[in-house]
Amino acid sequence: MTESLAGKLLIASLSLVDPNFFRTVVLVCMHDEDGAMGLVLNHPLEQAPVADHLPQFAALAAPPAVVFKGGPVEPTAAIALGRFRPGADPANRIVGRAALLDLSRPLEDYRADLESVRVFAGYAGWGAGQLDREIAEEAWFVVPALEGDAFDPDAATLWRRVLLRQPGKLKLFAWAPADPRVN
């Protein structure tokens, strides 16, 4: 591992066909010599309103107000990412004003500083060195994250839009067909 990728995005390359990660955008929340953890930002669970699972966050849920599939690891575990108001200094900051929330704390501890929330079921996880190997194998593109990526209301086009804002040839991947055999 050369440097931590926490706070960066992983964009699934065209070679990554695993259905858990096909054309995904993953926000890396933790990356060190022991492994990595991230949240898939573009897999909303349309039939899982936040109000049905964590009703205390329903009023703060970023649109669409549904739970997102954060990844295949521990799919029954809830993870919340909060966007804090300007001037707040949250613990567990990931990028910009976005930070992981400690769900064992009452919402009232956050309410004054919290602007919006995105709730995830599960997460993406990699063992020691695994993510670094996948990047070396070109399964992932590593790009800068914007705090708004985690709260983007249009998950269906996030993969393409993140690629399109990249410099150079990387943006060309945005126009690749889902199945290159039908090109």
Residue 176's pLDDT band (cuts 50, 70, 90): confident
- Where does the pLDDT of residue 79 fall: very low under 50, low under 70, confident under 90, or very high at 90 and above? very high
For 125-174, the pLDDT digits (tens) are: 999 999 999 999 999 999 999 989 999 999 999 999 999 999 998 888 88
Pick 8-182's CATH classification: 3.30.460.80, 3.40.1050.10, 3.40.1740.10, 3.40.50.1980: 3.40.1740.10
Q: What is the pLDDT of residue 24?
A: 97
Q: Which tokens in the block code for residue 1?
A: 């591992």
| Per-residue model confidence (pLDDT) at position 181 | 64
Say what the pTM is: 0.94
* pLDDT of the residue at 54: 93
Q: Which two tokens stand for residue 15?
A: 């070679």
**DSSP one-letter string for 139-179:** SEEEEE--GGGGG-S-GGGHHHHHHHTSSGGGGGGGG--SS
Mean pLDDT of the chain: 93
- Mean pLDDT score, 2-20: 93
Sign of torsion, CA 83 88 93 97?
Answer: positive
Q: What is the mean pLDDT of residues 92-117?
A: 92
